[in-house]
Amino acid sequence: MKTYSLFVVLCFYLSACRSQTDWNIIENWKSYPIPTDRDTLSRYNNSPNYWKVFMQSDSVRVIKAPPEDDQSIIPFKLNPNEKERPQMIGKVSILKVDDGYLLGFFRGEWGGYMYWFSKDGKHHYLISEVDVVQFIGFNNHVYAIEGLAHLGLSEGSILSLQKKNGKWISSEYLKLPAAPEAIAVYGNNFIIITSKSLLEVDDNLKTTTLVEKGILYYLDPNSLIIHDNIVYAGMQAGVYKYNLLSKQQEWLMPN
C-alpha cells in the first residue's frame, strides 16, 4: 500500500494566514504554571482567541484558528446535490490518498459525514455518517478520530479506513473513553487529546491516561503536534505543553 500524506496542514494554514506576514514561533511565547483556579480558567474560557499549532521548518508555530466552516482547504470546488448540500458544511478535515481525497465534515450535534472525492472533485461517494475530527496516516494505514462532547456526554473512537472492492470503508479500531479533539503519532503509538484527558495508545491498543481533566477539560483543545518528545496542543487562550519524558506540564501564552 502506498504511503498516505496529510494534505490538510499546508493548505489549511496558508489559506488561514494569507494576511499574515509571518507565523508566531512558539519558542517566543512565555511559559506559565498550569492554571487551576476557577477565576483564571473562567477568564481564559472567555477568550476570543483559539490557537492552532503546526510544524514549519522544524519549528513549532501557532496561528489563530480560522472559522470552522472554512472550506478553502479543499483543493477543488464542492458540487453537492440538493440532498448532500446540508451534509457538506461544518469543520472540514481532509487527507490525500492514492486515489483522491478523504473528507470529513464535522457538524457537532447535527451529525457528521465522511466522503471520498476523486482527485479533480468530480466524483464522490459517502463512506460513513460520523463526526470526523481528524484523519491521520500511519504505517501505510489510514485512521480517523471521530466523536462528540455535548451536553455532558463525551464519546468517540479511532476508525480504521481501507479500500474494499475499490471503495473506502471504515470500521471501529478502538473505542475511546471520551470525545477526541486531536491526534498525533509518537513512535509506534498514538497520542490523543480528548475533551477530558491526554491519552497514549500503543500498537496493542493499550490505552494509558497521561493527564486527566484540569485545563484540558476547560479550554477546548483543537490541534496537536509532537516535537522532541514534547506535546503541544493548541487551545483557547494559549498552548498546552507536556513533556512525554519528564511529565512536566506548562501553559504557553504570547508575550
pLDDT in tens, 30-57: 999 999 998 999 999 999 999 999 999 8
Sign of the dihedral defined by the CA atoms of residues 157, 233, 65, 95, in that order: negative
Q: How far apart are CA 62 and CA 65, in angstroms?
A: 9
Q: How far apart are CA 240 and CA 152, in angstroms?
A: 23
CA distances from 204 to 142, 188, 200, 207 (A): 17, 10, 11, 9
Q: How far apart are CA 10 and CA 55, in angstroms?
A: 10
Does the pLDDT of residue 67 top 90, yes or no? no
The kind and range of the H/E element at 239 are strand 239-243
Q: How far apart are CA 18 and CA 78, in angstroms?
A: 22
* pTM given for the model: 0.88
pLDDT score of 9: 40
Does the pLDDT of residue 8 top 80, yes or no? no
Helix (H, G, I), strand (E, B) or coil at 18: coil
Domain ranges of the chain: 8-253
What angle (nearest 5°) sits at the alpha carbon of residue 13, between those of residues 72 and 119?
Answer: 45
Reduced 3-state DSSP string for 201-241: ECCCCCEEEEEECCHHHHCCCCEEEEECCEEEEECECCEEE
Second CATH level (architecture) for the domain 8-253:
6 Propeller (2.120)
10 — pLDDT class (breaks 50, 70, 90): very low
Helices marked H in the chain: 8-16, 38-45, 215-218
- Closest C-alpha among 220, 222, 174 to residue 200: 174
User: Could you please report the per-residue DSSP string of 170-197?
Assistant: EEEEEEESS-EEEEEEETTEEEEEESSE
Please state which of the ranges 60-69, 125-134, 213-222, 228-237 shows the lowest mean pLDDT: 60-69
- Exposed, middle or buried: residue 27 (CB in 10 Å: 0-12, 13-18, 19+)? exposed
pLDDT in tens, 102-138: 999 999 899 999 999 999 999 999 999 999 999 999 9
Sign of the dihedral defined by the CA atoms of residues 192, 170, 103, 195, in that order: negative
- Closest C-alpha among 220, 242, 16 to residue 252: 242
Q: How far apart are CA 140 and CA 244, in angstroms?
A: 25
More confident residue, 233 or 151: 233
Q: How many CA atoms lie within 13 A of 227 on its CB side?
A: 16
- Cβ-contact 95, 127 below 8 angstroms: no
- Mean predicted lDDT score pLDDT of the chain: 88
pLDDT score of 74: 83
Does the pLDDT of residue 68 top 80, yes or no? no
